[in-house]
């Protein structure tokens, strides 16, 4: 048995056969520009991770015992946002981790993936400026060239409205004289 995941009404409304067909039409033409190379097609998305355990593991116990104790925490459940970007060959670009706080500490990044960056916001949600900083930080890892373009796919939840990133991606295309593409699919349109 699985519990359903919450989905916004806008995403449900935007998930139509016409929108899906339009996405794959655009994706197909853009994929040809990178010559169907899986290592040059990246997808970026964010996810929320809890910093406090809130579910307890199941266990086997003797029938004679009526109760089993499990340690709990008095902390509130905080969610951390992680922006991850990866291609089909398993290569990842540096992540950005957004902590739900006002100020950052070096210790927060202990054990993080190499070249990852951190950001802080009281809500713990990624902001446009943070995503732009991630794009600036990550773009040199893909080594853009006219002979080896890159396709970056992002969801339309927030990233398509970030004109700074779209403009920077277009400038990168012009600098290397390639058909490098930043395509953001907006499922709500």
Say which residue the tokens 């029938």 belong to. 63
Q: What pLDDT was estimated at residue 56?
A: 60
Say if 149 falls within a structural domain. yes
Q: What pLDDT was estimated at residue 98?
A: 93
Say if 150 falls within a structural domain. yes
Q: What pLDDT was estimated at residue 63?
A: 62
CA distances from residue 123 to 56, 111, 119, 169 in whole angstroms, order as listed? 26, 23, 11, 27
How do residues 55-104 score in pLDDT, each as one tens digit?
A: 666 666 666 555 555 555 445 567 889 999 999 899 999 999 999 999 98
Q: What pLDDT was estimated at residue 183?
A: 43
Q: What pLDDT was estimated at residue 142?
A: 86
Q: What pLDDT was estimated at residue 82?
A: 92
Using the predicted structure, report yes or no on whether residue 113 has a pLDDT greater than 90.
no
Which string of DSSP letters, residue by residue, matches 110-171? TTPPTT-EEEE-TT----HHHHHHHHHHHGGGG---SSS--EEEEETTTGGG-HHHHHHHHH
Sheet arrangement for strand 92-99: 117-120, 92-99, 79-87, 41-50, 151-155, 181-185
Say if 107 falls within a structural domain. yes
Indicate the number of domains in the chain: 1
Say if 102 falls within a structural domain. yes
Q: Cβ of 159: how many Cβ atoms within 10 Å?
A: 25
* Mean of all residue pLDDT scores within the chain: 78
Q: What pLDDT was estimated at residue 171?
A: 77
pTM given for the model: 0.71
Q: Which domain holds residue 97?
A: 33-50+77-185
- What does the block give as tokens for 144? 């853009």
SS3 28: helix
């Amino acid at each position: 048995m699985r519990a359903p995941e919450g989905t916004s009404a806008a995403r449900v409304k935007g998930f139509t056969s016409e929108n899906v067909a339009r996405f794959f039409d655009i994706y197909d033409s853009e994929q040809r520009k990178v010559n169907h190379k899986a290592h040059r097609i990246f997808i970026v998305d964010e996810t929320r991770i809890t910093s406090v355990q809130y579910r307890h593991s199941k266990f086997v116990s003797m029938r004679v015992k009526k109760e089993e104790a499990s340690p709990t925490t008095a902390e509130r459940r905080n969610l951390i946002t992680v922006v991850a970007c990866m291609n089909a060959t398993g290569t990842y670009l540096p992540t950005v981790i957004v902590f739900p706080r006002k100020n950052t500490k070096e210790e927060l990044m202990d054990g993080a993936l190499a070249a990852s960056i951190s950001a802080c916001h009281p809500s713990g949600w990624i902001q446009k400026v943070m995503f732009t900083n991630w794009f600036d930080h990550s773009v040199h890892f893909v080594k853009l060239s006219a002979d080896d373009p890159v396709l970056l796919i992002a969801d339309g939840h927030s990233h398509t409205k970030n004109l700074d990133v779209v403009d920077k991606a277009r400038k990168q295309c012009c600098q290397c004289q390639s058909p490098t593409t930043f395509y953001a699919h907006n499922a709500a349109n």
